[in-house]
Structure 1
Amino acid sequence: MKRTLLFSLLYILNPLTISAAWSNTMPQGDSDAGKVKSFTCQFCHGQNGVAQKEGYPHINNQSPLYLYRAMQAYQNGERSGSYGDMMKQQLSVLNEQDLADIATYFGEQP
Structure 2
Amino acid sequence: MRHLYLLSLFFIFNLVISTSSWANAMPQGNSEAGKVKSFTCQFCHGQQGLTKKDGYPHINNQSALYLYKSMKSYQNGERGGAYGEMMKQQLSVLNEQDLADIAVYYAEQP
TM-score category (smaller protein): 0.7 to 0.9
CA distance in 2, matches of 1:82, 1:61: 23
Provide the TM-score with structure 2 as the length reference: 0.79
**Does the residue aligned with 1:99 lie in a helix, a strand or coil?**
helix
CA distance in 2, matches of 1:73, 1:26: 13
CA distance in 2, matches of 1:81, 1:58: 16
Q: Counterpart of 2:97?
A: 97
Deviation string for 1:46-90 (max 9, x for gaps)?
Answer: 000001101100000000000000000000000001100000000
Q: Counterpart of 1:72?
A: 72
CA distance in 2, matches of 1:70, 1:82: 15
| Alignment gaps of 5+ in structure 1 | 1-22
| Alignment gaps of 5+ in structure 2 | 1-20
Q: Runs of 4 or more off by more than 2 Å in structure 1?
A: none
Provide the TM-score with structure 1 as the length reference: 0.79
Name the count of aligned residue pairs: 88
CA RMSD of aligned residues (A): 0.7
